[in-house]
Amino acid sequence: RFDSDGAQSFSFGLSSHDWKPLNKNSARPVRLVSELEKREAFNNDMDWTLFRDVLVAAGMLKQCHADDTVGYTYEQDEDRVLAMLVLTAIHDIMKIQALVPCVQPVHKQYGGYKTGEAIGDHDVALGYILENYPHALPSFAGLPCEQRESVKFTQAKMEYNMGW
List, in sequence order, every residue forming a beta bridge with 113; answer none if it has no partner: 110
Q: Is 113 helix (H, G, I), strand (E, B) or coil?
A: strand
Global confidence as pTM = 0.78
Region 19-46: what's the mean pLDDT?
Answer: 95
Question: What are the two backbone dihedrals, phi and then psi, of residue 73, each rounded to the nearest 5 degrees?
Answer: -120, 170
Q: Rounding to the nearest 10 degrees, give the CA dihedral for residues 36, 38, 40, 42.
A: -150
Q: State the pairing for strand pair 113-114/109-110.
A: antiparallel
Residue 159 confidence (pLDDT)? 58
Is the confidence at residue 66, as pLDDT, over 70?
no
**Residues 135-147: pLDDT tens digits?**
999 999 999 999 9
Residue 126 burial (CB count, 10 A): 27
- The terminus-to-terminus CA distance of the chain in angstroms comes to 39
Q: How far apart (Å, rounded) are the C-alpha atoms in residues 89 and 3?
A: 28
Is the confidence at residue 96, as pLDDT, over 60?
yes
